[in-house]
Amino acid sequence: MNSSSRAVERTCLESMPQAVCAKFPLGGLLFMLALSVAAATEDAVAVWQRWERVLVSDRDYPHPSSALSLGVLFEGPNRQTHAGLGFWDGDRRFVIRCAFPTPGEWRWRTTCTDAANRGLHGQSGVVRVKPADGTNALTRHGYLRVSDDGRLLIHADGTPFLWIGDTCWAAPVHATESEWRHYVATRAAQGYSVLQLSIAPEWALERGPHGPPPFLSKLPDITQPNPQFFQAMDRNLARANDHGLVVMLCGLMETPQRYPPPEQIAVLSRYVAARYRSFGVMFSPSFDSGIHEAETLAAAAAVREAAPDSLLTMHMGTGVGPRFHAADWLAFDMYQSGHNGGDAARQSARAVGMPAEILALPTRKPIVNGEAIYEGDLGGAYDVRRTAWLSFLSGAVGYTAGINEIYAWKEDALARMNLPSSEQVALLARILRALPWWNLAPAPGRILNQLKEPARLTAFALTADRTLGLAYLPQNDNVTLDLRNGAPTYDVLWINPVTGESHAGNAVASAQAVTIAAPDARDWVVLLSAADAPGLGPVNKALLEIPPHRKKSVATITFGTDALMDGLVHKRPRDGESVRQSFMHIPCLVNVNPKRNGYLYFDLDDRLGFRGGPERMLVEVRLRSDESLAGVQLQFDAQGSAAVTNIYRPTPSSWRKPDGGWTTIGFVAESPYLGNRQNSGADFRLYLGGSLCQVAAVRVALEGAQR
């Protein structure tokens, strides 16, 4: 509810004499409140500011979300009209909402399927809409729409919208208000623009919500949404929008179970769309699903009825093609290149191949990679930034990243929200926003030395006037490009996608085959800018604004709900699962089933070392066990081919030191590669020798040549 509506309600209640309050029961008070609100027929808001009006029914309904329909028509300047539905908000309260696209006088009038309900039917009013103010992109430039040529998502005023997303699927169920506040502020400050969440998937309800349940009806019946649950979601989505973040609500046909009958899906979809039509929100009927046509169409039709101006897409399962591409209700295509069981080759192949498949279709629509590999159990930061760059340079206008503990909103969500991938995706956004990224188009045919190995696919994009090109090399010695009909010469800038550090390369002239050598074996972004094009200047300026990377040679990690992760990330593949406990008042990890969980996996932040650099790596582990520690061993990713003997090179302990009931064990790893080639993108793992162990901390020190 906006401030003016709250003020109206508060004034009405405070102005009632105590005798009147004592005389009338709750129904009478609500009816008098309805009359008072109806008398205040004029409101004032700014363009794209959330507006709402509370109406009070003069009767009760057993199932108010499905028993009647409350329609509203808005008429504004230059004969603009916007229609939609209102929604039930508890007791006899019904609410209508809108965000007005232009300044001027807007008049509204309601219609109710129960025309005899004087509190709902035939209500009307006027809203004076002022020009937009402030710096929030959603109020300054407006909510999102599709560009006239179908290529881009843009704001209402035509400003291109760069989709940099994060998945926080379970946040509506599990996040506390303070957690959500911190998360939203952090992602907005990093430059993210979209948050993807699901209302209440079944798996998110396993340990119960912090607040009221999402439904009043007994599951699997979803026809009675709980207003208290959604009022809390109102506050969360408002906070996201107020920070300039668009929200995509996924799974209207999968909440909370797969898949309710279409008629129930329609009830919930209509309710959710009516409730959030005034927010910067998009909708997806699906959530990781395959093709379910009846359920999809039920959700899509209900959203179109309740919020006809809102954008709809489909968040399909991994690898599912564009089944609904031609549907007029589908505003843009969303593909999921997916986790693929941690298989880097399939991740890259789909990040590149799926947008190419969509671009080949006759009707052009914007393309977003709505879910790729998460940093967590199946992948590392390199996997995230690799699929992000490949997606953008292959035709996507958006990419959504993720972190395991954030999407499931586990107890350590905030401690892990700034894992390295989150900063690297933010860096990608910073680089693209310094360029006319919306003019880039994929040009895979100009790559003359594309490798057949999918995990090492290169991507290249070029503007139509051929003054600006951008390539990503995941692991290549060089790239050979066909630059015919381009600018006479191109300046070259190499950008490290991990740190943002950059340096100029040798300028190149347009030719049929131009080979540009990569600085080293790490992954690189290379920017080609015509000499008279404003490409390098804005990018260099954006990169200089990044706080300088502090060269470090030490990384540490401790354990607990607020685990300290300074350069080390704990990974949890199947044979490395552990639980948090406390021993001697010290938080620690415990491999509760030593026969199955014999390892602990760790990934070193790529800013410290990636694909070579240090001459040796010293690893110290503080742990204890009631069993023998003789078999504890370090296995690390060493220099050489990707053979098991290198990616799991064993190293026995070099020294041991008792420490008040604990033992610190030290290892020396010579010539580490640090290429994220182990399970889940880890750089090393600890073999715990088959013993049940409590591990309190890990410390890594790098020695020798550093880049």
Residue 78 burial by CB count (10 A; 0-12/13-18/19+): exposed, middle or buried? exposed
SS3 266: helix
Cα 648 from Cα 599, distance rounded (Å): 12
With cut-offs at 50, 70 and 90, classify the pLDDT of residue 86.
very high
Domain ranges within the chain, ordered by starting residue? 3-133, 156-433, 442-544, 554-703
pLDDT in tens, 3-41: 444 433 333 333 333 433 333 344 444 444 444 444 446
**pLDDT at residue number 41:** 60
The CATH topology of domain 156-433 is TIM Barrel (3.20.20)
The CATH topology of domain 3-133 is Immunoglobulin-like (2.60.40)
CA distances from 379 to 342, 402, 405, 458, 571 (A): 6, 10, 13, 19, 9
Q: Are 356 and 396 in contact (CB under 8 A)?
A: no
pLDDT in tens, 25-84: 444 444 444 444 444 467 899 999 999 999 999 999 999 999 999 999 999 999 999 999
SS3 451: coil
pLDDT in tens, 186-223: 999 999 999 999 988 888 887 666 778 999 999 899 99
**pLDDT at residue number 613:** 80
Give 37-40's long-range contacts (Cβ < 8 A, gap of 24+).
37/8, 37/9, 37/12, 38/123, 38/125, 40/8
**pLDDT at residue number 209:** 66
Beta strands 398-401; 163-167: pairing state: parallel
Average pLDDT estimate for 301-307: 97
Place of tokens 């972004």: 525
pLDDT in tens, 487-532: 999 999 999 999 999 999 999 999 999 999 999 999 999 999 998 7
Residue type, 437: W
Q: What is the DSSP-derived secondary structure letter of residue 310?
A: S
Q: Which residues of 426-460 are buried (b: 16+ CB within 10 A; e: fewer)?
A: bbbbbbbbbbebbebebbbebbeebeeebbbbbbb
| Domain pair 3-133 / 442-544, same fold | yes
Q: Tell how far CA 684 is from the center of its chain.
A: 28
Q: What is the DSSP-derived secondary structure letter of residue 455?
A: G
With cut-offs at 50, 70 and 90, classify the pLDDT of residue 374.
very high
Nearest to 314 by CA among 302, 297, 191: 297
Q: What share of the chain in percent tops pLDDT 90?
A: 80
pLDDT in tens, 669-705: 999 999 988 888 899 999 999 999 999 999 999 998 7
Considering the domain delimited by 442-544, tell me its CATH architecture. Sandwich (2.60)
Cα 28 from Cα 23, distance rounded (Å): 9
pLDDT in tens, 166-190: 999 999 999 999 999 999 999 999 9
Residue 628 burial by CB count (10 A; 0-12/13-18/19+): exposed, middle or buried? exposed
* pTM, 2 dp: 0.92
Cα 524 from Cα 501, distance rounded (Å): 10
**pLDDT at residue number 63:** 92
Average pLDDT estimate for 345-359: 96
Judge: domain 554-703, CATH 2.60.120.1360.
yes
Identify the weakest region by mean pLDDT among 39-48, 276-285, 357-366, 697-706.
39-48
Residue type, 697: A
Place of tokens 């410290």: 608
Place of tokens 């954030």: 406
Place of tokens 């400050």: 189
Q: Under the phi-then-psi rule, with left for phi > 0, alpha for psi from -120 to 50, and beta for the rest, what region is 512?
A: alpha
With cut-offs at 50, 70 and 90, classify the pLDDT of residue 368.
very high
Q: What is the DSSP-derived secondary structure letter of residue 28?
A: H
DSSP string, 226-245: -HHHHHHHHHHHHHHHHTT-
**pLDDT at residue number 621:** 98
DSSP string, 53-98: EEEE-SS--SSHHHH--EEEEEE-GGG-EEEEE-EE-STTEEEEEE
Average pLDDT estimate for 615-626: 96
With cut-offs at 50, 70 and 90, classify the pLDDT of residue 549.
low
